[in-house]
């Protein structure tokens, strides 16, 4: 199983779509507060369709609590602030794919703690991809690698 971690997500439809993706690949969704919306928001549930009720996302009050309780062994931080391309990483069952908020990405302090864990999804143009698109790209590469290793 994979773990998808959204650090302070801001846009409910993105989180709803990511929840739907997590349901499809049997990944655990983790939401690090503060959230830019309510878990009860209609836009979130509409994007997640009826899968949202089956998802059971874990919500954490902050990164510190998440890290202490979950004690993740293998993290992959997705950011535009690295040269390490995601397809060069090795993904394993149980890994945590971590994504930052839509408007600002993951904090530098977090990235600087583990630069070897930073991954980029390369682009020809533009600043960044939509959060749900980025999660889909990374998650399916991880699933491909995990399934190939079986």
3-class DSSP state of 65: helix
Domain housing 45: 3-148
- How confident is the prediction along the chain (150 residues), in pLDDT tens digits per residue? 899 999 999 998 899 899 999 999 999 999 999 998 887 767 666 655 667 778 889 999 999 999 999 999 999 999 999 999 999 999 999 999 999 999 999 999 999 999 999 999 999 998 889 999 999 999 999 999 999 987
Crossing angle of the two packed helices 12-25 and 131-148, in degrees rounded to 10: 10
Which CATH number belongs to the domain containing residue 133 in this structure? 3.40.1280.10
Do 141 and 87 form a contact (C-beta atoms < 8 A)? yes
Domain count, the chain: 1
Q: How far apart are CA 75 and CA 97, in angstroms?
A: 6
């Amino acid at each position: 199983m994979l773990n998808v971690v959204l650090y302070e997500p801001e846009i409910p439809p993105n989180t709803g779509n990511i929840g739907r993706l997590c349901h499809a690949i049997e990944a655990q969704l983790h939401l690090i507060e503060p959230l830019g919306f309510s878990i009860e928001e209609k836009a979130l549930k509409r994007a997640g369709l009826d899968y949202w009720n089956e998802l059971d996302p874990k919500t954490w009050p902050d990164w510190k609590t998440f890290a202490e309780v979950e004690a993740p062994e293998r993290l992959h931080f997705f950011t535009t602030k690295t040269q390490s391309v995601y397809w060069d990483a090795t993904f394993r069952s149980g890994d945590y794919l971590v994504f930052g908020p839509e408007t600002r990405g993951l904090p530098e302090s977090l990235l600087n703690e583990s630069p070897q864990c930073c991954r980029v999804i390369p682009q020809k143009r533009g600043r960044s991809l939509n959060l749900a698109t980025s999660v889909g790209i990374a998650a399916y590469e991880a699933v491909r690698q995990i399934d190939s290793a079986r």
